[in-house]
Amino acid sequence: MSGRVVAIDGPAASGKSTTARLVAERLGHLYLDTGAMYRAITWKALQEGTDLTDEEALGRLAASTDLDLAHGAEGTRVVVDDRDVTGEIRDPEISRTVSLVARVPAVRREMVRLQRGVGQRGDVVVEGRDIGTVVFPDAEVKVFLVASLKERARRRSRELASEGVVVPVEELMDQIRKRDALDSDRLDSPLCRAEDAVPLDTTKMTIEEQVLAVVEIVRQRREAESGTSNG
């Protein structure tokens, strides 16, 4: 039986992953990081020397990969073919190339199949770029996060710095700008806001403020639905 789905979409570095994870904790839902799934396939492709422009090869690789998101006390661990790659998939090289893999239709179909399977397990908070439009078009709640390009680059810079990686904000702005173009222009499941998604500009918001805002959106939606069903 399917659970309730809270879909959080938005462009790169808009705060989706951290916000979705914390929202899931507040609501007592499962957290599904779809971006990590695409990063995992990209990691494996790079490890095996797969041509990132060869869509057929990437599709075969995705279909033959044993990919699992293990949820435990330390958060979500990403496991590829029995190897924990949680840290490795955050490498800057993955960030630069993941869009090349994520835009491949065969890869997306395989990831969507896995994501919908997780949605069958119970209530879940899912983040990505096409969750509310393609993966879970009937999601109970849809939120679309946005933020200025410069703020997104600053966030990514802080994230990388915490991992000991220093990248100039200007360089990250260029990377994110290119990522946005690739995500928005791809033919298969492009990045776009679902018509029924609630837009949330996080440029001047802290993570805690983002989390509270999304939880409030969910609360209001459920109260409205409860009132409708009771009426």
> CA 18 → CA 35, 126, 133, 161, 225, distances in Å?
12, 11, 21, 16, 27
Identify the three-state secondary structure at position 77. Answer: strand
pLDDT of residue 230 exceeding 70 = no
> Which residues, 6+ apart, have CB-to-CB distance to 95 below 8 Å?
156, 175, 179
pLDDT of residue 2 exceeding 70 = no
What is the mean pLDDT of the segment spanning 147-169? 93
Both tokens of 3, joined, read 């659970």
pLDDT at 1: 41
The whole-angstrom separation of Cα 160 and Cα 168 is 10
Higher pLDDT, 189 or 124: 124
What is the mean pLDDT of the segment spanning 160-181? 92
What is the mean pLDDT of the segment spanning 8-33? 92
Cut 0.85: pTM above it: no
What is the mean pLDDT of the segment spanning 189-211? 94
Burial class of residue 126, CB neighbours in 10 A (0-12, 13-18, 19+): buried
| Average pLDDT of the chain, as a whole number | 91
CA Rg value for the chain: 17
Provide the pLDDT confidence category of residue 71 given band limits of 50, 70 and 90: confident
Identify the three-state secondary structure at position 59. Answer: helix
pLDDT of residue 79 exceeding 70 = yes
Which DSSP category does 138 fall into?
Answer: T
pLDDT at 231: 59
Least confident of 39-43, 129-133, 146-150: 129-133
| C-beta of residue 6 within 8 angstroms of C-beta of residue 23 | yes
> Which residues, 6+ apart, have CB-to-CB distance to 78 below 8 Å?
33, 36, 37, 39, 40, 67, 68, 69, 70, 84, 85, 86, 89
